[in-house]
A and B are shown apart, each in its own frame.
Chain A
Amino acid sequence: MAPGEPILPGTLELLILKAASLGPLHGYGILLRIQQMSGAALIIEQGALYPAMARLERGGLLDSEWGTSENSRKAKFYRLTTAGRRRLRDQTDSWERMVRAMRTALKATGGEV
């Protein structure tokens, strides 16, 4: 994968929810979609996706079923549940509020404070 920024702790689950919200995907597909969505700017330890997806599935935010991949192999496909969609919306809002606050804070100049 292309070099980039390591993802911030706690953001992997949000990225997985976002990737799965765009349509059912297997684990490797979720990785590729995250890379694609972020313009390959994020570094993810690929194996870390699986415990995170297992947690989301246990929490009822993802649902999974076995199917056939594009290269005719058996693969586990994940899709977002209604609760997952709600969580994605809430976390996206809180992430955006945080980013706005950080940006404002970091742009502050001597005259403003």
Chain B
Amino acid sequence: MSRLQWIVSGVRNGFRRHAQEREMEAELTFHLDARVDDLIAKGRLPTDAMRQARLEFGSRGAHEEGCRDARGFPLLEHLLSDVRYAARGLVRSRRLVCVAVFSLGIGVGVNTRSSALSRRSSDGAHRPCARAARVDWGRPW
């Protein structure tokens, strides 16, 4: 499978996310039910069978996460969820955001202004030197 097909299938899965969650839920439940039935058929009590089936299955949450990662773009999705988390945090503390933006604005503004001023004064200082150099280069011998 080419890289492009892999990306296309990931995008397609992204559009079917709700359906896929339902399917995954149904698939894992089917597995556990079938295992419980088998254990009961082998003579286990239903409660024992359920406990053993869950134990043999391992962490359901971790395996579900593994399935989601396999179907999507895990790096991109984790990055987006981090960005969403940060945005929610910023929305919650608006006053802090205002102070931070204001002080950054003042800082950047002052810096830009002072560097513009210093460039203007240094430009003036360099121009005569440049002309002097041209005169020197004009007759080197």
Contact = CB atoms under 8 A, between A and B. Distances in A.
B33 A27 contact: no
A83 interface: yes
A28 B70 contact: no
Interface stretch (B23-31, B83-91, B106-114, B123-131): B23-31
Interface in B34-72: 34-35, 37, 56-60, 62-63, 66-67, 69-71
A76 B27 contact: yes
Interface residues of B, number: 29
Interface string B96-116: 000000000000000000000
A47 B63 contact: yes
A49 B10 CA distance: 20
B6 to A, nearest CB: 7
A6 B10 CA distance: 31
A46 interface: yes
A55 B71 CA distance: 7
B81 interface: no
A46 B1 contact: no
Contacts of A47: 28, 57-60, 62-63
Nearest to B70: A54
A45 B58 contact: yes
Interface of A: 1, 26-28, 31, 45-48, 50-51, 54-55, 57-61, 66, 69, 71, 73-76, 83
B30 A69 contact: yes
Interface in B1-15: 1, 5-6, 9-10, 13
Nearest to B53: A46
Contacts of A58: 6, 9-10, 13, 70-71
A101 to B, nearest CB: 29
Given A71-B34, A74-B26, A74-B30, A60 B5 contact: yes
